[in-house]
């Protein structure tokens, strides 16, 4: 079984407020018993560690029959990604790029789009904002975050990765975690995902 995450990416966060907003979200999730306060380096893959599910997780998520408890998994952390974040593991489960202007669709191996898109990711992570990708079909230039992709690549200053948690929009939850994060931060969020 491969590992995956859902990520709640917080939009339009300035670099100088990402830390305080991250702290506010973690504090709220800990207070609500959804995550533990400690950071455990074993709970995420490739990052600095994450928060395991908290003491109230079984009262906010109802398992279906035959569904194992994700809170018993080794990799089950909530990872704070404070600073420029792109959903890089989205490429492993990616269905291509759709131009926001003309809706032309390009596969991942279409270099005329994939190359500038990859460059935009590199530029963003390096602190730049050279994000334009020209559509080979209609010649319109749009910033990479505005291209339609599934999963979305984020391009945000703050994200929370939920490693191996069930889909956050599942009916099995009796709380709406993305909405809670939007409420605590005062920003819109988008939910995306990636797989290793």
Give the interface with Zn ion as residue ranges (CB under 5 A).
99, 101-102, 104, 135, 137-138
Q: Between residues 112 and 138, which has the closer beta carbon with respect to Zn ion?
A: 138
User: In angstroms, what is the minimal distance from the CB of 130 to Zn ion?
Assistant: 19
Burial of 68 (0-12, 13-18, 19+ CB in 10 A): exposed
User: In angstroms, what is the minimal distance from the CB of 142 to Zn ion?
Assistant: 8
Determine the angle formed by the axes of helices 177-185 and 18-31, rounding to 10 degrees: 130
Q: Between residues 118 and 137, which has the closer beta carbon with respect to Zn ion?
A: 137
Cα angle 142, 95, 117 (rounded to 5 degrees) comes to 35
Cα angle 122, 103, 129 (rounded to 5 degrees) comes to 25
Asked whether 28 and 51 are in contact (CB, 8 A), the reply is no
Per the document, the length of the chain is 196
User: In angstroms, what is the minimal distance from the CB of 137 to Zn ion?
Assistant: 4
Cα angle 106, 112, 115 (rounded to 5 degrees) comes to 100
User: In angstroms, what is the minimal distance from the CB of 132 to Zn ion?
Assistant: 13
The neighbouring-strand residues paired with 35 are 53
Q: Between residues 104 and 125, which has the closer beta carbon with respect to Zn ion?
A: 104
Q: Between residues 101 and 108, which has the closer beta carbon with respect to Zn ion?
A: 101
List Cβ neighbours of 120 (8 Å cut-off, separation of 6 or more).
130, 131, 132, 133, 143, 144
Q: Between residues 136 and 167, which has the closer beta carbon with respect to Zn ion?
A: 136
- Find, among 191, 193, 186, the residue nearest to 17 by Cα: 186
User: In angstroms, what is the minimal distance from the CB of 110 to Zn ion?
Assistant: 12
User: In angstroms, what is the minimal distance from the CB of 138 to Zn ion?
Assistant: 3
Q: Between residues 7 and 99, which has the closer beta carbon with respect to Zn ion?
A: 99
């Amino acid at each position: 079984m491969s590992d995956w995450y859902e990520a709640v990416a917080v939009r339009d966060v300035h670099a100088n407020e990402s830390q305080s907003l991250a702290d506010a979200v973690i504090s709220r999730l800990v207070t609500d018993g959804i995550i533990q306060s400690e950071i455990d380096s074993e709970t995420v893959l490739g990052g600095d560690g994450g928060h395991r599910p908290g003491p109230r997780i079984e009262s906010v998520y109802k398992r279906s029959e035959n569904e194992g408890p994700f809170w018993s998994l080794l990799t089950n952390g909530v990872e704070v990604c404070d600073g420029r974040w792109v959903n890089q593991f989205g490429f492993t489960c990616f269905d291509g790029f759709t131009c926001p202007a003309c809706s032309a669709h390009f596969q991942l191996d279409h270099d005329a789009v994939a190359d500038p898109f990859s460059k935009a990711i590199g530029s963003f992570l390096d602190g730049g904002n050279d994000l334009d990708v020209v559509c080979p079909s209609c010649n319109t230039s749009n910033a990479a975050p505005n291209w339609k992709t599934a999963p979305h690549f984020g391009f945000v200053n703050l994200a929370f990765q939920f490693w191996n948690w069930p889909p956050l929009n599942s009916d099995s939850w009796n709380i709406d975690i993305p909405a809670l994060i939007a409420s605590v931060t005062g920003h819109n969020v988008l939910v995306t995902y990636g797989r290793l």
